[in-house]
Amino acid sequence: MRYRVRLVHTEEGVSVSCPGLLGCWSQGKTEEEALENIQDAIHEYLSTAECLVREEEARYVDVG
């Protein structure tokens, strides 16, 4: 799955967020590092979200 991310270049490096996943952000000294870090952040975000609904009645829906 692909996610659109937003990059902000600062004096400290690059901040990156995923607008589609509220609160999911990361950073890095370079754009490449920031993009690698946001991949990890997105993975952890989705993993946590999955854990939160394991005990609940839940369904999947397809969004095209």
**9-46, pLDDT tens digit by residue?**
999 999 999 999 999 999 999 999 999 999 999 999 99
Examine residue 64 and state whether it is found in any structural domain, yes or no: no
Q: State percent of the chain over pLDDT 90.
A: 75
Examine residue 59 and state whether it is found in any structural domain, yes or no: no
Residue 60 in this model has a pLDDT that exceeds 90 = no
Examine residue 38 and state whether it is found in any structural domain, yes or no: yes
Residue 56 in this model has a pLDDT that exceeds 80 = no
Amino acid symbol at 54: R
Query: 3-state DSSP call for residue 52?
Result: helix
Paired strand residues for 13: 10
Q: Residue 25: which of 13, 49, 42 has the closest Cα?
A: 42
Domain span holding position 14: 6-53
Examine residue 58 and state whether it is found in any structural domain, yes or no: no
Examine residue 32 and state whether it is found in any structural domain, yes or no: yes
Residue 51 in this model has a pLDDT that exceeds 80 = yes
Region of residue 43 (phi > 0: left; psi between -120 and 50: alpha; otherwise: beta): alpha
Examine residue 63 and state whether it is found in any structural domain, yes or no: no
